[in-house]
Amino acid sequence: MTAIESLLLQGRSDCPKCHRTFSQSYSMYRHYRYECGDAPPRYQCPYCAYCSKWTHSIYNHVRKKHQGCEVKLNKRY
């Protein structure tokens, strides 16, 4: 079991890396896994190499840079 899994089992919802507190432990896990610190960007623009950790950044990017294209994103993992 990893350290993060044992925190989840204890019902903890504060990130062990940056100590942000979340209302749900799964929100903390998602944050820890995909957003916190130097986690690689999870989402990518389907039309170019632009990547971001946040879906709204990709959507904004596609609306601005790829006007007329369907607003969507690729998950990198």
The residues binding Zn ion (CB under 5 A) are: 15, 17-18, 36, 45, 47-48, 50
Q: Torsion-angle region of residue 19: left (phi > 0), alpha (psi -120 to 50) or beta?
A: left
Looking at this protein, which amino acid is placed at residue 4?
Answer: I
Cβ 35 to Zn ion shortest distance, Å: 7
Cβ 1 to Zn ion shortest distance, Å: 19
| CB nearer to Zn ion: pick between 11 and 15 | 15
| CB nearer to Zn ion: pick between 17 and 63 | 17
Number of neighbours of residue 18 by Cβ within 10 angstroms: 11
Structure tokens at 14: 């504060």
